[in-house]
Amino acid sequence: MSAAPVAAPSRPLRVGIVCPYSFDAPGGVQFHIRDLAQALQRAGHEVSVLAPADDDTPVPEVVTAAGRAIPVRYNGSVARLTFGPRAASRVRRWIEAGRFDVVHVHEPMVPSLSMLALWLAEGPVVATFHTSQERSRALQVAYPLLRQSLEKIAARIAVSEDARRTLVDHMGGDAVVIPNGVYVDTFAAAEPDDRWRGTPEAPTIAFLGRLDEPRKGLEVLASAAPRVLERLPGARFLVAGKGDDGRDAALEALGPHAGSFEFLGGVSDEDKASLLASADLYVAPQTGGESFGIVLVEAMSAGAGVVASDLGAFRRVLDEGGAGRLFRTGEPDDLARAVLAALDDPAGTRERRERATAFVRRFDWSAVTAQVLAVYEMAVAAGEALGSPVAPSRTESAVGWLRTRRAAGGEGA
């Protein structure tokens, strides 16, 4: 993976990153943390990631496995979490051994390693919030119990405006919005695979996501497919992701059209990039619970035309439709309309692809890491110089601190 050099703070930092979700079944948050750790290492910093994982689960070298997780239903998905006294002991030993300049916890409101690390950390703490929900009883119940611990957070990051709004609505305060990162050049350089290339008469339409999570929208795509196939009977739907129950439900819904769907199972990072570079369209039919849309950025980086549901997070990633087509969330007929419009208008689709190629640069890790490092610098300054007239207090918003630095000519926001 390649990225432009990132300007580092005045000295290398020792950074401890806490992942709440297990690497036994990695998803967007885990991949974000893995890639952030790698980007920070390339910038010259010492990084350790603590995450749930079984002893025999392959994990990146930067990850310290914290033991088995249990599946818990959360935000329309299944989160695999580790919590309890034994996990707390592991977190304490990891913090003591790491002697970190800053501890970066992800989703600290979830009962997980992140919550334990927030309780146990004594130095500067940065927190990233990924969740997007209009109403969450769990967050409303948890906030009064965690209010004192949340005051230890020196800086808050939200991965999108939707995640920031969830944070503000449920806990008050504010956060600086720093998007998820993508190695844009890696996807842009991916080689197409002839197995997944389409033709005007037989275009290929790709979908990636866990098949057994209804909010990923596979059933919406399956319901839209017959209308697409009426116009383009040779169309092929390439479905990548795990989840036998979701696959069986989709096949049942497709009936006589089941042969148009090719289930690829889980794919490697390399195959994912190649699939996105090969397909005529990438379709994101998610129905809710999405705070960003990292796979849209990956598809745009690979040069795929994108069709996505009009969730707020997706609209922003697609530049309000300028970098891809949108359809009404959860409506198969409108999804079919958008897919056919994209395939019938190659010039318009090409124009959106070209706009996307420029738009995605703001999500490249070279840009994202610089912003994260600016937040770390703020948090470390708060820990080292409390009471100084030029340093932020522990309760000062990261937003205000970064705006002050930008006005003074500093890097970051």
The DSSP-derived string for 343-371 is HH-HHHHHHHHHHHHHHGGGGBHHHHHHH
Model confidence at 135: pLDDT above 80 = no
pLDDT per position as a tens digit, 328-375: 999 999 999 999 999 999 999 999 999 999 999 999 999 999 999 999
Residue 409 falls in which region: left (phi positive, over 0), alpha (psi -120 to 50) or beta: left
Q: Tell me the pairing of strands 70-74 and 77-81.
A: antiparallel
Residue 24, classed as helix, strand or coil, is coil
Looking at domain 14-181+364-407, its CATH class is alpha beta
How far apart CA 339 and CA 354 sit, in angstroms, is 18
Helices assigned H by DSSP within 255-345: 269-278, 294-302, 312-317, 332-344
Helix (H) or strand (E) holding 77, with range, is strand 77-81
pLDDT for res 374: 94
CA 250: distance to chain centroid? 25
Supply angle C-alpha 89, 158, 83, rounded to 5.
20
* Helical segments of 212-286, H only: 218-231, 244-254, 269-278
pTM over 0.85: no
210, 284 in Cβ contact below 8 A?
no
- Give the Cα separation of 237 and 358 in Å (integer): 27
Residue 46 clears pLDDT 80, i.e. is over it = yes
What is the pLDDT, as a whole number, of residue 171?
75
**Which part of the chain is CATH 3.40.50.2000?**
14-181+364-407, 185-362
The CATH number that domain 185-362 falls under is 3.40.50.2000
Q: With 0-12 CB in 10 A as exposed, 13-18 as middle and 19+ as buried, what is 237?
A: buried
No. of helices (H) and no. of strands (E), the chain:
15, 15
Write the Ramachandran bin of 360: left for phi over 0, alpha for psi from -120 to 50, otherwise beta. alpha
Q: What is the pLDDT of residue 150?
A: 79
Give 67's DSSP letter: B
* pLDDT number for residue 412: 40
Q: Which pLDDT tens digit goes with each residue over 216-259?
A: 999 999 999 999 999 999 999 999 998 877 788 888 878 888 89
Q: What six digits make up the tokens of 55?
A: 């002893």
pLDDT of 393 higher than 50: no
